[in-house]
Amino acid sequence: MADSSARLDIGGTGHDYAVKDGSVGPQVIDIRKLYADTGMFTYDPGFTSTASCESGLTYIDGDEGILLHRGYPIDQLAEQSSFMEVSYLLLRGELPSKAELEEFTRTITRHTMVHEQLTTFYRGFRRDAHPMAIMCGVVGALSAFYHDSTDINDPMQRRIASHRLIAKMPTIAAMAYKYSVGQPFVYPRNDLSYTGNFLNMTFSVPAEEYVVDPVIEDAMDKIFILHADHEQNASTSTVRLAGSSGANPFACIAAGIACLWGPAHGGANEAALNMLREIGTVDRIPEYIARAKNKDDPFRLMGFGHRVYKNYDPRAKVMQKTANEVLTKLGVTDPIFDVARELEQIALNDPYFVEKKLYPNVDFYSGIILSAIGFPTEMFTVLFALARTVGWVAQWNEMISDPAQKIGRPRQLYTGPTQRDYVPVDKR
Ligand code: SDX
């Protein structure tokens, strides 16, 4: 990559820093020596202008609404690929041959069962526990069961841990749902697809035969693809930061799940559907648009806006199309879908949203599909975590293999009290 340099003039002294080119996208200024040279830090809360790493996994052009996984556009992957194939692509860097895909799928399939004692963890939770709380606890607990795949310096252990996490997340997620509704856990079935197996573990009951609906299986697989990875978002950065200390992969993914839960991030799909339900009818939309624009009102349009996309989130486009298809094929008419489409049209023509470049994001339509399929709202972010696990795992592997990676340890702008002496309590 061709390098040039940038000069920083501080108090008349010039400091030159290398400018590095990526294969596409913004250049970076390598400021790793800035503090040693100048005794100064950069200041960038929220990392709006900071590249935390070099990565070849996913590229987003926020202005053009482009999302590529290892160079392949997300709409092509969503329409033509499968979640297992996209998982292979993210992990290995290339689309698999037929034989490679079959081998990878077989490997993942054979890791879908969880240790039988892991089921006792669920008994400790209240039935009304939020399933994301269960996911944080149970995924973190995996490190207590798989001691043979926690040595991050052993490539084979990293690969096994990666496969275990991708394979077991659907089982753990389905068990969280079953526990919440008081139904028995359903074991994985090796004769079903990754996504079909998840649907069976979630919705089948011992009392009758469950047949995976291909329409739902296809929509679910597409939703998993749309959530697989997304550059250095908050939860991925959390996984990388946790991994930079040498923490085991199960603990790192549990940290990512915890971060994803926030309503500004993965929790937005649950919040967006709750918001649409609260709005309820098209005639109430203007009231909520006004609230979203009111600086004194903390209300935001959930499912709108993005740190990177200043154009339409390409995933939201696919999601809206899928929502249409699923509702039509299932013969479901959900009035909040009309509210969603009307809200989108009103917002996209409102000067506030136009000026701030606020468009629907991946979370705006996903809840409508998931609700139509039969998932309770509390499960939406669990499904996001299930799909994002392959992205977290791929990013974690990339970080560990990166010779430039060090333990993440940001500095700060200190604005607290300067040094002062302790005063005994009887003299205060
Ligand atoms: C995801 O990073 C990723 O890649 C995340 C993700 C992934 O795949 O990993 O894409 C998944 O998290 C999608 C985002 C889901 N979150 C939501 O839908 C929650 C609602 N959105 C906002 O909270 C917000 O848009 C964020 C958090 C997504 C982005 O916030 P930023 O980049 O920090 O932008 P900001 O908060 O500084 O907002 C810029 C301006 C502000 O107004 P001003 O202070 O400039 O006057 O836009 C306003 C905000 O008040 N604004 C909104 C708004 N989002 C931003 N106003 C009303 N409604 C909104 N949704």
| pLDDT more than 70, % of the chain | 99
- The domain segmentation of the chain, as residue ranges, is 5-51
Q: Which of 69, 230, 306, 313 is catalytic?
A: 306
| Cβ-based burial of 209 (10 A; exposed 0-12, middle 13-18, buried ≥19) | exposed
Coil/strand/helix, residue 275 = helix
Per-chain mean pLDDT for the chain: 95
Determine whether the shortest distance from the Cβ of 364 to ligand 1 is under 6 A: no
The CATH number, out of the four listed (3.40.50.150, 2.20.28.60, 3.30.565.10, 3.20.20.80), of the domain defined by the range 5-51: 2.20.28.60
Active site residue 218: no
CB–CB of 158/249 below 8 Å?
A: yes
Closest CA to 173 of 134, 204, 124, 129: 134
Q: How confident is the model at residue 314 (pLDDT cuts 50, 70, 90)?
A: very high
- What pLDDT is attached to residue 347? 86
Active site residue 227: no
Shortest-distance atom of ligand 1 to CA 48: 32
Number of other residues whose CB lies within 10 A of the CB of residue 304: 24
- What pLDDT is attached to residue 168? 98
Number of other residues whose CB lies within 10 A of the CB of residue 62: 17
Residue 323 Cα to ligand 1 middle (Å): 23
- What pLDDT is attached to residue 1? 47
Determine whether the shortest distance from the Cβ of 362 to ligand 1 is under 6 A: yes
Residue 136 Cα to ligand 1 middle (Å): 24
Most ligand 1 atoms within 8 A of CB, residue of 358, 362, 365, 366 to mutate: 358
Shortest-distance atom of ligand 1 to CA 292: 57
**pLDDT tens readout for residues 175-212:** 999 999 999 999 999 999 999 999 999 999 999 999 99
Determine whether the shortest distance from the Cβ of 388 to ligand 1 is under 6 A: no
- What pLDDT is attached to residue 146? 87
Cβ neighbours for 94, distance < 8 A, ≥ 6 positions apart: 70
Query: 29 forms bridges with which residues in the sheet?
Result: 19
Q: How confident is the model at residue 3 (pLDDT cuts 50, 70, 90)?
A: low
150-154, 202-206, 270-274, 300-304: which is most confident: 202-206
Q: How confident is the model at residue 332 (pLDDT cuts 50, 70, 90)?
A: confident
Backbone angles phi and psi of 208, in degrees to 5: -155, 165
Could you give the CA distance from residue 332 to residue 335 in angstroms, rounded to a whole number? 10
**Residue 334 pLDDT more than 90?**
no
Determine whether the shortest distance from the Cβ of 363 to ligand 1 is under 6 A: yes
Nearest protein Cα to ligand 1, atom 30 = 307
| pLDDT more than 90, % of the chain | 92
**Residue 220 pLDDT more than 60?**
yes
Most ligand 1 atoms within 8 A of CB, residue of 306, 309, 357 to mutate: 306
pTM: 0.95
Closest CA to 394 of 68, 62, 49, 69: 69
**Residue 2 pLDDT more than 80?**
no
